[in-house]
Structure 1
Amino acid sequence: MDKEMNYGRDYKFIPATSVGSGVGIEVLPDLYCYTNQIVNIIFVGEPEAGEFVLVDAGMPHAAEEIISETEERFGRNSRPKAIILTHGHFDHVGSIIELVDHWDVPVFAHELEFPYLTGEKSYPEPDPSVEGGMVAKVSPLFPNEPINIGNYLEKLPSDGSVPHLPDFRWIHTPGHTPGHVSFFREKDRALLAGDAFVTVKQDVLYKVITQELEISGPPRYFTPDWKTAKESVITIEQLKPEVAVTGHGLPMSGELLSESLAKLVREFDTIAMPRYGKYVDHEIQ
């Protein structure tokens, strides 16, 4: 393993799960959503084509599971062309070092995420005081120190294109993190939203476990800039996506998606934004 690469000292297995854990859903022929504990990773590419990318990299200590699922879908010894990140929180990069070491593939992220992926800067600490349920209360257990992906890390192109995914473009959707991005494909209006919004109330333990479908803003305990997060949801709604895969919860499509997103925009301050918490009234630099 590349000696330059390392996780934060606080990275560890997090014993959180959901009924969806270990389940894969073929959302479209070339979009496969797989739930690793409580977070979704997405394979983009049709199995028979042989070429695909992986969006996000799951929870800590999940590399074997992710490699196994990759080979189940794409064949023995298959590997993606790249790993592309929506952002760098621990549940989206938890197994990335083992994966790039195994596959020897580049990792693409927005340049504003680089400090958190090159060992320079920790994310703001999770907020256990925020309005929400049990997951918010235990969020101090979640890793927030930076990781270092070393020479594997590359910037997403400034023109909005996505390497190895010519039909997609990336859209800057910050608020949850400074360099958070979502991915959109015009031809079928498919959206990979990351945590810009989610389809399960991520801070409520019961709903995380049962994966109860409910549109929500980004996870409350890990979102330091609510003004910008709201602007990102407005940007996404204006794309009029037909199908969305989010970082947490089940895929959503059609009328349910369009109506839910419109409602989230209209009622963001009550649906998404917590009434109290240390990041509610001021943003963290």
Structure 2
Amino acid sequence: MSTPTVTEVADGVHFVQGKAVNWTILTEGDAFTLVDGGYPGDLDAVLSSIERVGRTLDQLAAVLVTHAHVDHIGSLPRLLDGRDVPVLTSETEARHARRDFLEQATPLQVAAASWRPRVLSWSLHVVAAGGMTKAGVPRATGFGAGPLDVPGHPVPIVTPGHTSGHTCYHLAQAGVLITGDALVTGHATVARTGPQVLAGIFHHDAAANRRSLAQLRSLDGDVLLPGHGAAWHGSYADAVEQALA
């Protein structure tokens, strides 16, 4: 198991960088919210990160999902086994998480791009991390409006494009925005770092994803936590401009 990097970027906001994907832990009192959960093979890393922020799995109050690709929900079935913990995302993405439908790059699409050295090494990691499973999270449900009544109290911002119900989470008081895969700062398949959008192969609707980023420009805060890549510090408007350039 690779040891994840855990950084407290704001009070109670812990950014976790796994080997190929990120997740976030929001602590409040003794309880915490987990935002995303990595690949199936990241289960031990997720548990390690929870321990490193001084919590136990028994203190998990809720799980939030940015989107239901396997690298973001893969550990959840085993993590939540036998636990009555809500799994919340947008109404559309909850259906995706329950696997009423599936929107992610097919093995055929990945194979077609695997002549690129970075894509090939990434695809090998996907297989090793259990990324070929189509298992979902049957308990996933849609959230209500406004700040969520979970530790961290994030405000969901539905940003369709990467998937039909992709959701970012804004923690206004902490000045933090969790962007999932709508806007990232790196990926194993590219050398470039800094705010960017993923390659079209990874999006259900790349054009819609780019349009959705407009919602992020005016939000207050200066810390951006992506699903892939390092945390980014600066205005969200600048991050969007760089991603769309």
Correspondence for 2:142: 155
Asked whether the equivalents of residues 160 and 170 of structure 1 are also in contact (C-alpha less than 8 Å), the reply is yes
Correspondence for 1:261: 240
Matched, 1:41 2:23: yes
Deviations 1:51-75 (A, max 9, x none): 2100001111222331232123224
Asked whether the equivalents of residues 181 and 226 of structure 2 are also in contact (C-alpha less than 8 Å), the reply is yes
Correspondence for 1:125: 105
Gaps of 5+ in 1: 1-14, 268-285
1: distance between equivalents of 2:44 and 2:84? 15
Asked whether the equivalents of residues 37 and 59 of structure 1 are also in contact (C-alpha less than 8 Å), the reply is no
CA-CA distance at 1:155 after TM superposition: 1.2
Asked whether the equivalents of residues 170 and 182 of structure 1 are also in contact (C-alpha less than 8 Å), the reply is yes
Asked whether the equivalents of residues 196 and 242 of structure 2 are also in contact (C-alpha less than 8 Å), the reply is no
Structure of higher CA gyration radius: 1
CA-CA distance at 1:109 after TM superposition: 1.6
Deviations 1:177-213 (A, max 9, x none): 0010001122343101111110114422xx4xxxx63
Correspondence for 2:76: 96
Asked whether the equivalents of residues 122 and 145 of structure 1 are also in contact (C-alpha less than 8 Å), the reply is no
Identity over aligned pairs, percent: 23
1: distance between equivalents of 2:42 and 2:189? 22
Correspondence for 2:12: 30
2: distance between equivalents of 1:192 and 1:103? 25
CA-CA distance at 1:133 after TM superposition: 4.6
Correspondence for 1:86: 66
Matched, 1:248 2:225: no
Counterpart residue type for residue 154 of structure 1: T
SS at match of 1:53: strand
Correspondence for 1:171: 157
**Cα–Cα, structure 1 residues 221 and 135, in superposed 2: closer, same or farther, change >3 Å?**
farther
Counterpart residue type for residue 216 of structure 1: Q
Correspondence for 2:176: 190
CA-CA distance at 1:32 after TM superposition: 0.5
Please point out which of 196, 200, 207 is paired with 1:216: 196
**Cα–Cα, structure 1 residues 263 and 125, in superposed 2: closer, same or farther, change >3 Å?**
closer
Q: Judging by fraction of residues, say which structure has more strand.
A: 2
Gaps of 5+ in 2: none
**Cα–Cα, structure 1 residues 77 and 89, in superposed 2: closer, same or farther, change >3 Å?**
closer
SS at match of 1:112: helix
224-233 or 176-185, which deviates more: 224-233
Matched, 1:200 2:180: no
Correspondence for 2:38: 58
Deviations 1:66-112 (A, max 9, x none): 12321232245543101110000010011000111154311112111
1: distance between equivalents of 2:104 and 2:21? 20
Counterpart residue type for residue 73 of structure 2: V
- What TM-score, normalized to structure 1? 0.73
The alignment's C-alpha RMSD in Å is 2.8
SS at match of 1:245: strand
113-122 or 243-252, which deviates more: 113-122
**Cα–Cα, structure 1 residues 199 and 121, in superposed 2: closer, same or farther, change >3 Å?**
same
Counterpart residue type for residue 147 of structure 1: A
2: distance between equivalents of 1:108 and 1:37? 25
